[in-house]
Amino acid sequence: MTIVGVLALQGSFNEHIAALRRVGVKGVEIRKPEQLQNVGSLIIPGGESTTMAKLAEYHNLFPALREFVKMGKPVWGTCAGLIFLANKATGQKAGGQELIGGLDCTVHRNFFGSQIQSFEADIAVPELSSKEGGPETFRGVFIRAPAILEVGPEVQVLADYPVSSNEEFDSNSADGVQEGNTVSEKRVIVAVRQGNLLATAFHPELTADTRWHSYFLKMLADVREGSSSSVVSIGTDSHLNQLRIDFPIYQ
């Protein structure tokens, strides 16, 4: 059984650990920098990103997290975790928050609105379906969710979502909506992969569908092939500079 670290400062880390258990993997809570040395991959869960950032700063986790990403170890950020991994975030509160960085994208915090505007939607996931089987759509749970407005050339878009006519881009982020390898004015990106980094604006851990967790584990297997020393196992198993800027399970 492989060990996967789950950042456990705040948010839905227990739900990720439960989802990992359902696919036969052990998830361990990570709260201190030295604990990262015992895992070969990491999930940064959804939650309140400002609170998580303050706790990470208090525990001096940011340098270790940036080094973890820089070493090429698989990291998956969901919702708030996506914000942490982005190189740039807009729609922030005054003073912004510290980011890990590494993911070449611009993310808008709370793009879809406040807590009461949270929603569920079926999103097309051709890459996930191709690799993991199952339906061609995934039930996305969006809770005060961010959205990706722009991505770099090395970022693979895995899913996007249509923006209805009554939704408008925040004025602070409108400049990031361009032609080329970016979102259009009518769609925003909600899932991406760049090398060892995976990010989703929604919460797969709050559903019974474990395909995103299986997809992430295959990323870990890819790293294993290149570096046999990067993973801790308990059995057998079928520009990162400083940047400023308890849920139900849905069937």
Give per-residue pLDDT as tens, 165-204: 445 444 333 333 433 455 445 889 999 999 999 999 999 9
User: Are 202 and 78 within 8 A, CB to CB?
Assistant: yes
- The yes-or-no verdict on residue 76 having pLDDT over 50 is yes
Is 100 annotated as belonging to a binding site?
Answer: no
Listed by start position, the domains of the chain span 3-166+188-226
Query: Averaged over 196-225, what is the pLDDT?
Result: 91
Q: Each residue of 6-51: pLDDT tens digit?
A: 999 998 999 999 999 999 999 999 999 999 999 999 999 998 888 8
Given the residues 105, 108, 150, 205, select the one marked as catalytic. 205
pLDDT on residue 49 = 86
Helix (H, G, I), strand (E, B) or coil at 234: coil
Is 66 annotated as belonging to a binding site?
Answer: no
Q: What is the DSSP letter of 75?
A: E
Please tell us whether the domain made up of 3-166+188-226 is placed in CATH 3.40.50.150: no
Is 193 annotated as belonging to a binding site?
Answer: no
Given the residues 16, 108, 150, 203, select the one marked as catalytic. 203
Is 98 annotated as belonging to a binding site?
Answer: no
Is 59 among the residues known to form the active site? no
- Ordered alpha helix ranges (H), 98-197: 126-132
pLDDT on residue 96 = 64
pLDDT on residue 156 = 97
140-144, 184-188, 227-231: the lowest-pLDDT one:
227-231
Query: Averaged over 72-89, what is the pLDDT?
Result: 95
Is 205 among the residues known to form the active site? yes
Number of alpha carbons in the 13 Å side-chain half-sphere of residue 147: 28
pLDDT on residue 2 = 79
User: Are 178 and 51 within 8 A, CB to CB?
Assistant: no
Given the residues 16, 79, 105, 150, select the one marked as catalytic. 79
Q: Each residue of 89-139: pLDDT tens digit?
A: 987 665 567 899 999 999 998 898 778 889 999 999 999 999 999 999 999
